[in-house]
Amino acid sequence: MPKENFEVAVGDFYEMSGRLAEHYGRFWEKVVTQPSSAEDPSASVLADFSVAMREVGAAMLENPNKLISDQMDLMRQQQELYQNTVLRFLGKHPDPVVQPDPSDKRFKSDEWSENPVFDFIKQLYLIQGNSLMKMIQDTDGLSDHTRQKVEYFVRQYVNALAPTNFPSLNPEVIRKTFETGGSNLATGMEQLMKDMDGSARGALNVAMTDTSAFRVGENVAVTPGKVVYQNDIMQLIQYSPSTETTFKRPLLVIPPFINKYYILDLRPDNSFLKWLVDQGHTVFCISWVNAGPELRNKGFDDYMLEGPIAAIDAIEKATGEKEVNAIGYCVGGTLLASTMAYLKKKKKTSIQSATFLTTLLDFSQPGEIGVFINDTAITALEKQMDMLGYYDGRQMSFSFNTLRENDLFWSFFVNNYLMGERPAAFDLLYWNTDSTNLPAAMHSFYLRNMYLYNKLIAKDELELDGVKLDLRKVDAPTYFISCAQDHIALWKGTYTGATVMGGKPRFVLGGSGHIAGIVNPPHKKKYGFWTNDALPSEADEWYQGAQFNEGSWWTDWQKWVVQQGGAEAIPARQPGSELLPAIEDAPGAYVRRRIGEAG
């Protein structure tokens, strides 16, 4: 290398090293100065996990022979790996002791298999990690909830210690570091500091997509319409018709208030809302506010009264129709069911049919999120919310991401901070990072009365606006669509809700998960769905008698909703009537407000 080039390279190296040292110092300064107390939700969750771990330890000692057997199996596999590695250095090619799961993308680089050193590191990690998980699974005498918590905690520990997450053990990172002279690590540290600054307290919200590539109302949430009503907690969008005639009965969509509504309107080719409009529905959709501290006292009953009930009143002004079909997604469906039970007690029949998308009404099977549900953690969270006035939606996003930690956290950790690259532009992940804050009073009520005490499913246990609710009294026809691989609203848990509601429930099981199984347009021809006209008391019995159908549940739902009445054709309605004039173009101001701008 010419002398001048060598001097330039040395200079670049020292400059990069200086940048890295500066950011590394700032990183640890930020970590050690983070405020913390025993009342932090994260500390309370860890304390709860500690209790569960002690229970596991005591249970293991009840059957030491099984523990010894697992330890002996671990030693045997490690000894076999040592012998195989020696053989590989001698030019032999023994079969691996253990292989990654085919769905595990962490070890996709050829070097993890072709290089004996990295292959040894990979297999040793897998052997030890699998052994830890097996020890928990083999422990008898644990409650399902304790086992779930411990498996979650141990899984987080095992996956955090994967060699892929360490720059000196990951062959792709090592190669990138040599190629860039270490600038990938310096750039990664810069990006880590930026993400830490934008994260919720006690969490790290890793950037998952190029947020600069998306603009709400420009390339996501673009179905034409008008905001025709608004109050403190929501804007109501009426979409412009795309057909000459529409069905007489309007359709109200109630999305989750823990996320923004445009998951149902990402792009024209997969927008459920646009598809509904194209089928001839007059579609109204609630867009929830991104709450600030000024809304701290808004409760769950306020979300009912100022959400769907206020929307139904506004729809009557816009269309002259007193009755609607309604769709609720996830917690939006929980709110819809609560509203229907409330209206039934009030002897009102505004909602003539209801559709529930991946909705829990019985919270006895809360899915993996149940590991965070206990009185200690909720009490600590309530204290934090009382200080802020709201629940920071970024905390919820982080918690949900840890349920699929390798795909939704560690893959981006490696890409952003070790490889020094930026994530690609992906609209679904943009929506996933566009979180919403929740009013303190409402979120506390929801966590305690739904998840912790499971009151909604019980007769007259849950009270909203002075009215005790009974889902069994609801007699409007209902359509439940759940998803086979949903880890947030387990389909067998959602099935119970269908069996409890009165009227004529129809239960349908879609493929895939909580989002992909719902946002499944017919032209994609993906996943399919199961149907069964019978509704036995047990989910397994329903599934045994179910028939698989190709295509999308959307078309099945369209046939069903037309059969519920109000389907006669009338001239298409344009948004903005004399009684309910348009306020602004869709998607409106509320959905554009991001965390940091709320309040």
**Which residues are designated catalytic?**
330
Residues 6+ apart with CB under 8 A from 247: 280, 281, 282, 562, 566, 567, 568, 569, 570
Can you read off the two tokens belonging to residue 596? 């940091």
Pairing assessment for the beta strands 478-483 and 584-585 based on DSSP bridges:
unpaired
Q: CA-to-CA distance for 464 and 441, rounded, in angstroms?
A: 13
Residues 6+ apart with CB under 8 A from 81: 97, 120, 123, 124, 127
Q: CA-to-CA distance for 74 and 131, rounded, in angstroms?
A: 6
Which segments of 333-477 are extended strands (E)? 351-357, 390-391, 438-439, 463-464, 467-468
Provide the residue type at 33 as one letter: T
Q: Is 38 helix (H, G, I), strand (E, B) or coil?
A: coil
Residues 6+ apart with CB under 8 A from 556: 508, 529, 531, 549
- Residue 505 CB coordination number (10 Å): 20
Contact 471, 480 (CB under 8 A): no
Q: Which DSSP letter does residue 462 get?
A: -
Nearest to 546 by CA among 466, 491, 477, 470: 491
Q: CA-to-CA distance for 284 and 238, rounded, in angstroms?
A: 4
Q: Is 555 helix (H, G, I), strand (E, B) or coil?
A: helix
Give the max Cα distance, the chain: 89
The angle formed by the CA atoms of residues 438, 362 and 287, to the nearest 5 degrees, is 30
For the CA atoms of 56, 61, 66, 68, what is the dihedral angle to 10 degrees?
110
Alpha helices in 198-346 (DSSP H): 272-278, 300-304, 310-319, 331-345
Q: CA-to-CA distance for 426 and 423, rounded, in angstroms?
A: 9
Q: CA-to-CA distance for 398 and 381, rounded, in angstroms?
A: 15
- Residue 325 CB coordination number (10 Å): 25
Among all chains, which residue has been given the structure tokens 């009294």?
A: 473
Residues 6+ apart with CB under 8 A from 514: 330, 358, 483, 486, 487, 488, 489
β-bridge mates for residue 468, sequence order: 463
Contact 73, 67 (CB under 8 A): no
